[in-house]
Amino acid sequence: MKKLGFGLMRLPTLDKNDPSKVDLEQLKQMVDLFLEKGFTYFDTAWMYNAFASEGAAKAALVDRHPRESFTLATKLHAGFFNSLEDRDKIFNAQLEKTGAGYFDYYLLHGIEGNVYDKFEQFDCFNWLLEKKAQGLVKHAGFSYHDDPELLDKILTKHPEMEFVQLQINYLDWDSPWIHSKGVYEVARKHNVPIIVMEPVKGGTLAHVPESVEQLFREKEPNLSVASWAVRFAASLPGVMMVLSGMSDLQQMEDNLSYMEDFKPLTEEEQQLCFEAAKLINQQIAIPCTGCSYCTEGCPQHIAIPQYFSLYNEDMREVASKGWTVNFTNYSVLTKTFGAARDCIACGQCEDVCPQHLPIIEHLKKVSQRYDGG
């Protein structure tokens, strides 16, 4: 199996303010090209693209291609069940939404401290094995957003898990919050195959400072900046798949161009990535990946990832500069969504953030810049 997976999380849309309005025609082109080039792995989840991703997978993939021509992964998130019966309701709804008949890979989604406790409380690891015994799941695993110690505990207690999905990229390799290197080493210790999520960190590593772009261009002028991030993850021993949340046909074509005949990074090229990380970390203000988990339950309907993106863009250039076009962009967004100043500090967003960001404090910075207070 080729190492690039299609993450159906940031799908092309017809309305940039409504992720549920998936551009199915463009998605069909992307799916067809992906399969044509010999790639087969698709990754979705219950709430991706405002709960539209699994249905889009049915329309663009399952209904149009032989079932044996692709592998499909989806997930059970702890935020959507509160009883033993709820687990089956969600799973059966996923089978119906995707029309897949079975799932090649099924994950307990986004495990961290309290989430892990809930999965244990509701016996989800054994429940997943039951689905496998019934032929409804081919491979059982989980995705993870916490420290190396908890991962070691889980893999020790649950050796039946066949793979683990981890956030790994060169920017987070030494991060004290994401622990990319640490969790990678734990998975390797347990000899568990690794699927990589966020290799480009939600697009952050595709839009790098000019100094970093120049660094990569001098080494490989014909390769995209994003390619370095994907190839970094794919080059690590033990990595079976690298997911990329491709949002348009152009991103798809770029990824396929260097992953169709993948060549691992040399040691020198890997060190170049670490050098790039140092340069980026000097300039990034808010390390948000744009996953949008924070927005689903926000009582004020604040467009948190979009605001952080605008803020990062401004801070990356000149932190002290005055008016930019992003003031207008921000104003336009506030006509549809709550403004940063509308935050009531309820903490819902911070509870679900996989990056463990102090979102409330960051929104205060955004508000200070764009709301003028």
State pLDDT tens for residues 88-109: 999 999 999 999 999 999 999 9
* Residue 316 pLDDT class (50, 70, 90 cuts): low
Phi, psi of 318 (to 5 degrees): -140, 110
Task: Check pLDDT > 90 for residue 326.
Answer: no
What pLDDT shows up at residue 273?
Answer: 98
Report the distance separating Cα 198 and Cα 203, nearest Å.
9
Task: Tell me the per-residue pLDDT of 23-47, one tens digit each, with 9 for 90 and over.
Answer: 999 999 999 999 999 999 999 999 9
pLDDT at 321: 55
Read off the pTM: 0.84
At residue 320, does pLDDT exceed 60? Answer: no
Residues 65-79: tens digit of each pLDDT: 999 999 999 999 999
Question: Which tokens in the block code for residue 211?
Answer: 């100094």
Residue 208 region by backbone torsions, left for phi larger than 0, else alpha for psi between -120 and 50, else beta: beta
Distance, in Å, from the CA atom of 363 to the CA atom of 369, rounded to the nearest integer, reads 10
- Mean pLDDT, all residues of the chain: 94
Q: Answer whether residue 322 shows pLDDT above 70.
A: no
Pairing of strands 194-197, 103-111: unpaired
Tell whether the model's pLDDT for residue 114 goes beyond 90. no
pLDDT tens digits, one per residue of 166-196? 999 999 999 877 899 999 999 999 999 999 9
Give the pLDDT band of residue 17 (cuts 50, 70, 90): confident
DSSP letters along 151-164, please? HHHHHHH-TT--EE
> What are the b/e assignments for 319-335, b being 16+ CB within 10 Å?
eeeeebebeebbeebbe
pLDDT of the residue at 338:
97
pLDDT tens for each residue of 237-270: 999 999 999 999 999 999 999 999 999 999 999 9
Torsion angle (degrees, nearest 10) of CA 353, 356, 361, 363: -30
Cα(108)–Cα(76) distance, integer angstroms: 5
DSSP label at 146?
S
Q: Average pLDDT in the 298-318 region? A: 86
Q: At a CB cut-off of 8 Å and minimum separation 6, what does 215 contact?
A: 272, 275, 276, 279
Distance of CA 42 to the CA centre of its chain: 13
pLDDT at residue 309, rounded to an integer: 86
Tokens 């799932």 identify what position?
Answer: 103
- Give the residue carrying structure tokens 């059982």: 140
Backbone angles phi, psi at 150, to 5 degrees: -65, -40
C-alpha distances (whole Å) from 344 to each of 305, 349, 364 are: 17, 11, 11
Q: What is the mean pLDDT of residues 208-212?
A: 92
Whether the predicted pLDDT of 210 surpasses 60: yes
Q: How far apart are CA 320 and CA 251, in angstroms?
A: 33
